[in-house]
């Protein structure tokens, strides 16, 4: 008789498209930083849904907000108003110090929306000739998997077999301000980048780079669009990774943690002179701004406003990086806050092999790009649990 894990893996293998290669763990329950699989084994989660679960599994504040709204109304479409949309937009815009919010669902939708807004702003405000707008993006970045996004991806796996591609993008090396300057023309309407590149392995740009991007965009009358889908809403110990560097973007793209791991919620946040270029009928979403999503998003904003999660993240982030820097078996450590990209000595195995060994030892993380693992525990993880996870990593690297 097949085990519960094998049973579920077989169903997925037989009936789900094979676009993922998950670790052999089938999760049935989660609370805080811990999850339990279908066979009763417990694991410390060091991935947190790629930062969608910043506030932990089954966060009581977020579940309470969701449960309360489930008993009232979950969807109206934007054909009508609902009593959660206005407060959500007001509270999120106040948190970020911007005028307007355009709510969507997934991070990829937020990116696509940001690109549409940037192009329209370029035509109506900057005066770029019709259909000539260009956007500068960074190599090795990750912004989703839509056709337009993979059109400027530098990952062959993301692009292969999906052409023809959307034109209008110029790719420059990440962290190279001079390359960015050289790529800008009179037809450039936006620079789109992650303040920390997550999928690439938690790549932190050189000191001063984001400030240089801001200066170049201001001088050239170009929008600075910061993709904070993964880096934002607490992951670095700050509401926004961009602001942690003392820099303000023109447009913020949010997702993942905005839905608290309860449901997909994303948003584009900017001032009126940018988002005001959209008029009724030009962009929309049936589920974007639905009352259930807005109720959960409001609870997320309250958690960030309260501030204890952010201070906890900064404190434990220092612990995380101090321990990683002294750990044998690692050839590089990068990151901010409770977020690290670590490169494993190839003599100890590939990133995938190490993540499989960690899972067997009760710690969940995920490889990306060969020897690299990402560590991104829920921001609510306790210090003893963080040390337990790092002890397990250290033991695993020793073999």
- From the list 314, 319, 334, the residue with the least C-alpha distance to 386 is 319
**Which listed residue (37, 45, 227, 250) is catalytic?**
227
Give the separation between CA 236 and CA 259, rounded to whole angstroms: 18
Q: Are 385 and 67 in contact (CB under 8 A)?
A: no
The parent domain of residue 297 ranges over 72-306
Catalytic residue status for 224: no
pLDDT band, residue 369 (cuts 50/70/90): confident
Q: Is residue 65 part of a domain?
A: no
Residue 256 DSSP class = G
Give the separation between CA 89 and CA 75, rounded to whole angstroms: 17
Q: Are residues 9 and 111 in the same domain?
A: no
Give the separation between CA 148 and CA 278, rounded to whole angstroms: 20
For position 36, which CATH number holds?
3.90.1150.10
- 173 forms beta bridges with none
Q: Are residues 45 and 129 in the same domain?
A: no
Residue 128 DSSP class = P
- Tokens 């670790």 locate to 23
Q: Which of 306, 336, 357 is the last residue of a domain?
A: 306
Catalytic residue status for 116: no
The model's pTM is: 0.97
Q: Is residue 67 part of a domain?
A: no
Give the separation between CA 99 and CA 70, rounded to whole angstroms: 29
**Which listed residue (45, 256, 287, 385) is catalytic?**
256
Q: Which of 306, 338, 370 is the last residue of a domain?
A: 306
Q: Is residue 66 part of a domain?
A: no
Q: Are residues 110 and 31 in the same domain?
A: no
Q: What is the pLDDT of residues 89-108, one digit of tens each?
A: 999 999 999 999 999 999 99
% of the chain surpassing 90 pLDDT: 98
Q: Are residues 102 and 247 in the same domain?
A: yes
Q: What is the pLDDT of residues 214-258, one digit of tens each?
A: 999 999 999 999 999 999 999 999 999 999 999 999 999 999 999
For position 246, which CATH number holds?
3.40.640.10
Q: Are residues 390 and 289 in the same domain?
A: no
Using left for φ > 0, alpha for ψ between -120 and 50, and beta otherwise, residue 58 falls in: left
**Which listed residue (55, 142, 224, 287) is catalytic?**
142
Q: Which of 254, 280, 306 is the last residue of a domain?
A: 306
Q: Are 351 and 370 in contact (CB under 8 A)?
A: yes
Q: Is residue 364 part of a domain?
A: yes
User: How many structural domains is the chain composed of?
Assistant: 2
Q: Are residues 159 and 300 in the same domain?
A: yes
Q: Are residues 321 and 293 in the same domain?
A: no
Q: Are residues 131 and 214 in the same domain?
A: yes
Q: Are residues 92 and 112 in the same domain?
A: yes
Q: Are residues 207 and 343 in the same domain?
A: no
Catalytic residue status for 227: yes
Q: Are residues 272 and 389 in the same domain?
A: no
Q: Is residue 252 part of a domain?
A: yes
pLDDT band, residue 1 (cuts 50/70/90): confident
Q: Are residues 300 and 313 in the same domain?
A: no
């Amino acid at each position: 008789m097949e085990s519960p894990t094998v049973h579920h893996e077989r169903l997925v293998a037989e009936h789900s498209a094979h676009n993922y290669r998950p670790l052999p763990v089938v999760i049935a329950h989660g609370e805080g930083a811990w999850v339990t699989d279908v066979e009763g084994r417990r694991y410390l989660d060091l991935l947190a849904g790629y930062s969608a679960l910043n506030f932990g599994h089954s966060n009581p504040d977020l579940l309470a907000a969701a449960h309360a709204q489930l008993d009232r109304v979950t969807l109206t479409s934007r054909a009508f108003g609902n009593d959660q949309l206005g407060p959500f937009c007001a509270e999120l815009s106040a948190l970020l110090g911007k005028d307007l919010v355009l709510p969507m669902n997934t991070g990829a939708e937020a990116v696509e929306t940001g690109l549409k807004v940037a192009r329209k702003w370029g035509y109506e405000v900057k005066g770029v000739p019709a259909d000539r707008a260009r956007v500068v993006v960074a190599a090795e970045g990750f912004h989703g998997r839509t056709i337009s996004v993979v059109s400027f991806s530098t990952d062959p796996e993301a692009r292969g077999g999906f052409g023809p591609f959307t034109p209008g993008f110029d790719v420059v090396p990440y962290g190279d301000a001079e390359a960015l300057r050289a790529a800008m023309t009179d037809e450039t309407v936006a620079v789109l980048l992650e303040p920390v590149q997550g999928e690439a392995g938690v790549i932190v740009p050189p000191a001063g780079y984001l400030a240089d991007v801001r200066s170049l965009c201001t001088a050239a009358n170009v929008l600075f669009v910061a993709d904070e889908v993964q880096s934002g809403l607490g992951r670095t110990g700050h509401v926004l990774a961009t602001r942690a560097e003392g820099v303000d973007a023109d447009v913020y793209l949010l997702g993942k943690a905005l839905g608290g791991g309860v449901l997909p919620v994303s948003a584009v946040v900017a001032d009126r002179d940018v988002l005001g270029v959209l008029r009724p009928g030009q962009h929309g979403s049936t589920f974007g701004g639905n009352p259930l999503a807005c109720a959960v998003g409001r609870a997320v904003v309250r958690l960030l406003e309260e501030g204890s999660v952010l201070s906890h993240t900064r404190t434990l982030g220092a612990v995380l990086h101090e321990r990683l820097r002294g750990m044998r078996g690692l050839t590089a450590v990068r990151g901010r806050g409770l977020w690290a990209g670590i490169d494993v000595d190839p003599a100890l195995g590939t990133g995938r092999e190490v993540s499989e060994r960690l899972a067997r030892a009760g710690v969940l993380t995920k490889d990306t790009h060969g020897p690299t693992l990402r560590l991104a525990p829920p921001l609510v993880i306790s210090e003893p649990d963080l040390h337990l996870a790092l002890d397990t990593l250290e033991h695993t690297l020793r073999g």
